[in-house]
Amino acid sequence: AQSVSQHNHHVILSEAASLELGCNYSYGGTVNLFWYVQYPGQHLQLLLKYFSGDPLVKGIKGFEAEFIKSKFSFNLRKPSVQWSDTAEYFCAVKTGSARQLTFGSGTQLTVLP
Amino acid sequence: NAGVTQTPKFQVLKTGQSMTLQCAQDMNHNSMYWYRQDPGMGLRLIYYSASEGTTDKGEVPNGYNVSRLNKREFSLRLESAAPSQTSVYFCASSEGNVGGRYTEAFFGQGTRLTVV
């Protein structure tokens, strides 16, 4: 069964700091990978997605993620975070013949002004 | 452009009561999903419907039933609510697999359910 691990449960950064959130999945075949963001009190919104091709994927709001197949990872990065990036971030994977997404447990990011 | 609409937004139930959460999407998506979100556990799939007329269990289906009423609507029913079902429930829809790629899911605003 497909599974996703997000090892950072809560990350606290100051504004302008760089961000990297870890995501690892457990499947050796073809994967579709996603990062979603949930701002306080709101629903999940898509940040970026990877299907194939260039392993460096750029999303909205300056976020990017790198697919490293050998490490089964899809880490989310942003060079300089803002207070408005405070939110919960979820990695999700769809693998092989599965017909639905599996989500990680989420990482709460708090950016201090 | 409404996207995915869930009702109600908030609900308090007593243990043993029943209720139905409604979900509708206007994007002509084939697939629809119900997730629950609990602190530290991310989103867990309750049930999904890959296409109109089909439903399948997800990771945590016990205590729930679903109905795919038509292509637009996918409801979630709690027959006898329990405190363990206190959670935030999200409905989502997606086109599903298109040309070998799984298209992203779009989420509703959520229903915050408390069972006392």
pLDDT at A7 over 90: no
Sequence-distant (6+) residues with CB within 8 A of B93 are B4, B25, B27, B29, B31, B32, B33, B74, B105, B106
**B54 in contact with A, Cβ within 8 Å:** no
Q: Over range B8-16, report the average pLDDT.
A: 96
Percent residues over pLDDT 90 in chain A? 71
Q: Is the pLDDT of residue A98 over 90?
A: no
Q: Is the pLDDT of residue B105 over 80?
A: yes
Matching residue, tokens 């803002």: A82
Amino acid at B57: K
Interface test mutation site (partner A, options B5, B43, B55, max chain A beta carbons within 10 A): B43
B88 inside 8 A of chain A by CB? no
DSSP 8-state secondary structure symbol assigned to residue B73:
B
Ranking A32-46, A65-79, A87-101 by mean pLDDT, the lowest is: A87-101
Average pLDDT, chain B: 92
A101 contacts chain B (CB < 8 A): yes
Q: Which residues pair with A4 in a beta bridge?
A: A25
Q: How far apart are CA A14 and CA A6, in angstroms?
A: 21
The amino acid present at A25, given as its one-letter code, is Y
Whether B50 sits inside 8 A of A106 (CB atoms) is: no
B23 contacts in A (CB within 8 Å)? Answer: none
- Determine whether the interchain pair B105/A101 forms a contact, defined as Cβ–Cβ distance below 8 Å: yes
C-alpha–C-alpha distance, residues A109 and A89, integer Å: 7
pLDDT band at A13 (very low <50, low <70, confident <90, very high): very high
The string of pLDDT tens digits covering residues B44-87 is 999 999 888 899 999 999 999 999 989 999 999 999 999 999 99
